[in-house]
Each structure stands twice: as structure tokens, then as C-alpha cells.
């Protein structure tokens, strides 16, 4: 159905870029939307790898079909008007009128009362027999890490009992995103949720994104610094493709993050990301490394181990520039 290297200008990202790549992920996600899933699904991935963009694009694609009701919540927005987006598209004021009692709430309450929102929509718009997709972006940043278990379990209960039985929906999928290593580790312990990893973009897909930015550095240079992370590429673009400036900024940031950590152990992690789980976990919590999920748990094409890109079997640097910075700082 989709071309191998996918680009769709009917959807533009916040920065005005055409939606690019993610064919593998979209095929899996669309299948899940179609059939529903009995547990919530949490998509975990490096900061800036494109989780929010993918979730918004999914909503865009689903809005083309009459089969779906989509409730999208951007949990980091201040106001309900900004945070809540609904498919089928109805007039914004109309939704607010329908959800009058909720409009005055803050986003936390909206998240907790997601059942009420769905209930109002389904009954007022007579939408039973549809497929329900709930998309919540950055949920745990909003609710706090202490609520990760409780909230996810509540969603699980809603899927099994309330959504399917009371509202007579055809299928239900609840998809959440997080870039917090701690929340992912917590959730992996439980059977009432499934965690999937979204990795940075594929080599060929990333090239299509790079070409949209009228680049002034070679593609290989961009790839070797960013490893396919779109936000990192946008930072290079903002720095007017001045690689030295970009690298200096990363060096300054990383030097603060690692100043209390042992240099010899960091050096070993630079050589082999799998060499020190204990330190890798510390670096995951500080935003520099990530525990990879492979096989069934990887939504993207699995990243191949690659020393230069800082990818091991189990652990990876979130972007290669972090690994390069630590290599320099620990010399
Ligand atoms: N598939 C894509 N096509 C085009 N641009 C993209 C794509 N994915 C990401 N981008 C660009 O990269 C930027 C960063 O991506 P995004 O905000 O979606 O990442 P994220 O994983 O949600 O980050 P965070 O972990 O901070 O929430 C976007 O604003 C967008 O411009
Ligand atoms: Mg995001």
C-alpha cells in the first residue's frame, strides 16, 4: 500500500516538514487500531525521535476513515481546548459545549476522566459500533512518575469492562507515549500493559527528511551525528548547519550531566554500550542512553549494533553525538 520510502505532505509537522518515513511502524499501528488490543500500549523511545509526530499523523490517517472515533490528548498542554482533539472532526465549540462540565478542568482531570469524555462522545454523537482509538501523548510527564502504575492499570480496566461492554464499541486501542526510562522499566514488570520501542528514523527515511531542510552538510555527517533523530537534525538546521557549534553545545550539556561519573567506566561504555548496565541505567535516567527493546517489542525496524552509531545489542546512546561528546570529555 505505502511506498518503500514514505513521505506525505498532506500532514505537516510543527516545524512544517512533510510527514516522513515510519512505514514499518504505521503498518503495525494501523493493524492495532483496526483490531484493538486488550491492554494499553505504551510507546517508548529516545527524546525527539518522533513519538508526538507519529501519534498526530496516526490521528490524521484515521480521520480519513468513518470507522474510527479518536480521542487524542496532548497531556503537556495547558488548556483543554489545546490538549483535546477528536475524530470525527466536529466544531471545536460544539465539542466544548458537549463537554461543558469538563472544559473547566485541568488536563490531569481530563486524563483521569477519559471514560466520561468517550461516553459523552459516543452517546451524543451516536457512535457506538465504531472502533475507538485513544491516543495520549506524554502522559506520565503530566501525571507524575508515581502514578505510572495506577493510571495504566485504570486504563486497562476501562478497556476490558467499560469501553467494550457498556459502550458497545467494536474495538478499543489505547496508545500512550513516554520518553522516561523509569516509567518504561516500571511498566515492563506488569502484564496489564505492553511496551513497544520506537527507534530513531531509518537511514533512507531520514535522508528524505534531511533533503527537506536544504542541508549544507553531507548526509553522512548528519547521520553520524544524529543517528536518524529528527529533533537532533532540526537542531543542526537551527545552528545553520554549523557542526562545530552544534558539537560544542552538546559537549557543554553532556559535560554537566556526567561530571560526577567515573571516567574509566564511561570510556568503556563509549567503546561498548553493553559493557556496564549499572552505569547505562544512570545514563538512561539522565537522558543520554536507552535500553533497547528488540523483536516483538520493537515497533520500528530493529537498529543493528553499530559501534560508530553507539548502538549495542541491549543498550544504545540516544544519539551518536552523545557518545562522541563523552569520548572527547573522557580522553
Ligand atoms: N516522521 C516525521 N516526519 C517529519 N518530521 C518529523 C517526523 N518525526 C519527527 N519529526 C520532526 O522532529 C521533531 C521532533 O519530533 P517529536 O516532537 O515528534 O519527538 P518526540 O519523540 O515526541 O519528542 P519528546 O520525547 O521530546 O516528546 C518534530 O517537531 C518534527 O518536526
Ligand atoms: Mg513528544
Q: Which candidate, 233, 185, 217, places its Cα nearest to that of 44?
A: 185
What pLDDT score does 103 carry?
67
User: What is the CA(176)–ligand 1 centre distance, in A?
Assistant: 15
Distance CA 190, CA 39 (A): 11
Establish whether residue 51 lines the binding site of ligand 1, counting it when its CB lies within 6 angstroms of any ligand atom: yes
pLDDT tens readout for residues 167-202: 888 899 999 999 888 888 999 999 999 999 999 999
pTM: 0.95
What is the C-alpha separation between 44 and 54, in angstroms, rounded? 12
SS3 307: coil
What is the C-alpha to C-alpha distance for residues 115 and 262, in angstroms, rounded to an integer?
48
Query: Is residue 301 helix, strand or coil?
Result: coil
Q: Indicate whether residue 13 lines ligand 1 (CB < 6 A).
A: yes
Task: Return the residue whose CA atom lies nearest to atom 25 of ligand 1.
Answer: 47
Lowest mean pLDDT among 2-6, 7-11, 244-248, 289-293: 2-6
pLDDT score of 1 more than 50:
no
Q: Is 208 left (phi over 0), alpha (psi -120 to 50) or beta?
A: alpha
| All cell numbers assigned to 69 | 472515533
Report the pLDDT averaged over residues 105-115.
Answer: 87
What separation in Å is there between the alpha carbon of 312 and the centre of ligand 1?
24
Mean pLDDT of 118-138: 89
pLDDT digit string, tens, across residues 137-154: 999 988 898 999 999 999
From edge to edge, which strands make up the β-sheet containing 84-87? 84-87, 68-74, 131-137, 171-178, 41-44, 194-197
Going by pLDDT thresholds of 50, 70 and 90, the confidence category of residue 4 is low
Q: Which of 11-15, 123-127, 140-144 has the highest mean pLDDT?
A: 11-15
Rounded to the nearest angstrom, the distance between the alpha carbon of 167 and the centre of ligand 2 is: 30
Residues with CB under 5 A from ligand 2 (ion): 51-52
pLDDT of 299 above 90? yes
Cα(87)–Cα(100) distance, integer angstroms: 18
61: its cell numbers: 490517517
Question: Is 57 in contact with 2 (CB distance < 8 Å)?
Answer: no
Phi, psi of 306 (to 5 degrees): -155, 115
Q: What is the pLDDT of residue 69?
A: 93
Instruction: Please classify residue 264 by burial: count the beta carbons closer than 10 Å to its beta carbon, then call 0-12 exposed, 13-18 middle and 19+ buried.
Output: exposed
Banded model confidence at residue 95, pLDDT cuts 50, 70, 90: confident
Mean of the pLDDT values across residues 71-77? 93
In short, whether 149's Cβ falls inside 6 Å of ligand 1 is no
Q: According to the model, what pLDDT value does residue 171 have?
A: 93
25 Cβ inside 6 Å of ligand 1: no
Listed range (101-105, 124-128, 151-155, 271-275) with the worst mean pLDDT: 101-105
CA atoms within 13 A on the CB side of 198: 32
Contact call for residues 139 and 151 (beta carbons, < 8 A): yes
CATH of 36-197, picked from 2.60.40, 1.10.287, 2.60.120, 3.40.50, is: 3.40.50
| C-beta 49 within 6 A of ligand 1 | yes
Domain residue extents for the chain = 36-197, 216-329
How do 131-137 and 68-74 pair as beta strands? parallel
Alpha carbon of 74 to ligand 1 centroid (Å) = 14
Q: How many CB atoms lie within 10 A of CB 240?
A: 9
Which pLDDT tens digit goes with each residue over 198-242?
999 999 999 999 999 999 999 999 999 999 999 999 999 999 999
Residue 2 has pLDDT above 90, yes or no: no
Q: What is the mean pLDDT of the chain?
A: 93
Name the phi and psi angles at 311, rounded to 5.
-110, 125
Of residues 161 and 185, more confidently modeled? 185
- Greatest Cα pair distance, the chain, in angstroms, is 65
Q: Lowest mean pLDDT of 56-60, 109-113, 283-287, 308-312, name the range.
A: 109-113
Give tens-digit pLDDT for 236-275: 999 999 999 999 999 999 999 999 999 999 999 999 999 9
Q: Please report the DSSP string for 308-327 in residue order.
A: TTTB-SSEEESSHHHHHHHH
pLDDT of residue 63: 95
More confident residue, 104 or 75: 75
Please report, in angstroms and rounded to a whole number, the separation of the first and last CA atoms in the chain: 50
Task: Give the percent of the chain with pLDDT over 70.
Answer: 98
Angle at 236 between CA 234 and CA 238, to 5 degrees: 70
pLDDT at 3 over 60: no
Question: From CA 162, how far away is CA 159, in angstroms rounded?
Answer: 6
Whether residue 88 is preceded by a cis peptide bond, meaning omega within 30 degrees of 0, is yes
Q: Give the SS3 label for residue 286.
A: coil
What is d(CA 296, CA 275) in angstroms, rounded to the nearest whole number? 24
Host H or E run for residue 110: helix 107-112
Amino acid at each position: 500500500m505505502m511506498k518503500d520510502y514514505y513521505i506525505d505532505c498532506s500532514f505537516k509537522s510543527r516545524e512544517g516538514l512533510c510527514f516522513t518515513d515510519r512505514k514499518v511502524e504505521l503498518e503495525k499501528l494501523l493493524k492495532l487500531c483496526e483490531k484493538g488490543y486488550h491492554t494499553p500500549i505504551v510507546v517508548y523511545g529516545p527524546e525527539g525521535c518522533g513519538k508526538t509526530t507519529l501519534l498526530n499523523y496516526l490521528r490524521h490517517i484515521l480521520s480519513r476513515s468513518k470507522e474510527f472515533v479518536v480521542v487524542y490528548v496532548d497531556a503537556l498542554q495547558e488548556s483543554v481546548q489545546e490538549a483535546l482533539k477528536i475524530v470525527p472532526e466536529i466544531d471545536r465549540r460544539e465539542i466544548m459545549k458537549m463537554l461543558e462540565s469538563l472544559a473547566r478542568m485541568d488536563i490531569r482531570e481530563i486524563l483521569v476522566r477519559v471514560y466520561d469524555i468517550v461516553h459523552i462522545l459516543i452517546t451524543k454523537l451516536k457512535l457506538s459500533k465504531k472502533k475507538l482509538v485513544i491516543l495520549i501523548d506524554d502522559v506520565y510527564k503530566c501525571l507524575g512518575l508515581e502514578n505510572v502504575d495506577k493510571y495504566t492499570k485504570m486504563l486497562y480496566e476501562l478497556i476490558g469492562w467499560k469501553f467494550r461492554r457498556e459502550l458497545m464499541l467494536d474495538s478499543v486501542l489505547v496508545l500512550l507515549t513516554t520518553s522516561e526510562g523509569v516509567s518504561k522499566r516500571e511498566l515492563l514488570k506488569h502484564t496489564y500493559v505492553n511496551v513497544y520501542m520506537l527507534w530513531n528514523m531509518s537511514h533512507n527515511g531520514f535522508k528524505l527528511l534531511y533533503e527537506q531542510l536544504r542541508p549544507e552538510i553531507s548526509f553522512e555527517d548528519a547521520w553520524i551525528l544524529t543517528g536518524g533523530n529528527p529533533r537532533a537534525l532540526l537542531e543542526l538546521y537551527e545552528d545553520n548547519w554549523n557542526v562545530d557549534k552544534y558539537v560544542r553545545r552538546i559537549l557543554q550539556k553532556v559535560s554537566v550531566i556526567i561530571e560526577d561519573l567515573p571516567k574509566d567506566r564511561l570510556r568503556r561504555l563509549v567503546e561498548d554500550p553493553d559493557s556496564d548496565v549499572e552505569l547505562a541505567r544512570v545514563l538512561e535516567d539522565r537522558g543520554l542512553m536507552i535500553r533497547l527493546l528488540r523483536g516483538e517489542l520493537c515497533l520500528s525496524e530493529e537498529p543493528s549494533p553499530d559501534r560508530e552509531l553507539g548502538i549495542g545489542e541491549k543498550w544504545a546512546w540516544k544519539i551518536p553525538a552523545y557518545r562522541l561528546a563523552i569520548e572527547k570529555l573522557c580522553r
